[in-house]
Structure 1
Amino acid sequence: MRLAEPTWALGTRREPTPAPGAKPPLRRAHVEDEAPQLLTLEDEEGFRPRWQEAQNRFLDDPRGSVHTAGALVADVMQKPAATFDDHKQELEGQWSRGEQANTEDLRLAPRHYRSFFNRLLVT
């Protein structure tokens, strides 16, 4: 008897079909490229084998597999937060050192934040 794979193990993501005449959903390609990527290609390549391992363990150790998958998702979620923190420190670094921020820096900072914000919303 073959056991069915858990739904989280299928690894496919289906995009909803938009209604006729509806505006297409915002995609990554439409987001400004001012902020760093949330996950680099190297990050993805590091996380994918760990996901595969969690899936492969399911039949022998379902509880451990689910625990591993949950921990991995938490790790993946922490990566964009760390990226944002680094980017924020870079943007606001001169202010924390007591230096005066010029108007152009102040004008650009919200644009960078908006770009990062939009990337998070389409992720």
Structure 2
Amino acid sequence: MLLDLFDPGIVWDEYGLRSDVVLFTHGFPRADIHESITPDLLHQLIKGTFKDHLVTWVQDYILQAHPKSLALAIIQDIDQQISAVPPYPRLRRFPDGRDFNQWTGDDSKALMKVCSDL
């Protein structure tokens, strides 16, 4: 499109495109990289729904619904309950509660299992 609108010299100077080179994908009907990348649904469900939405929403709700000192006590009680879950086969323990810096997919899945039992 740029080559049709402007002089080849301007296209090279302004956009770095050569008028004598045609990309091999020029005639491909599905060459758009954004159409070829599929979303990772499992990642979106686990991280997006549980960690980014539900855990954050519950904490924000508690902070808004109660005075700050009571809200922090409730959040600390939730962390204590998570850390107090007894050892059980195939159930990961979180001795420090749910407050850790780097969440992985395995962390989210394991924490979902623990929270579903609380």
Query: How high is the TM-score relative to the length of structure 1?
Result: 0.30
- Kindly indicate whether structure 1 or structure 2 has the higher relative contact order, using CA contacts under 8 Å at least 6 residues apart: 1
Query: How high is the TM-score relative to the length of structure 2?
Result: 0.31
Q: Which has the larger radius of gyration?
A: 2
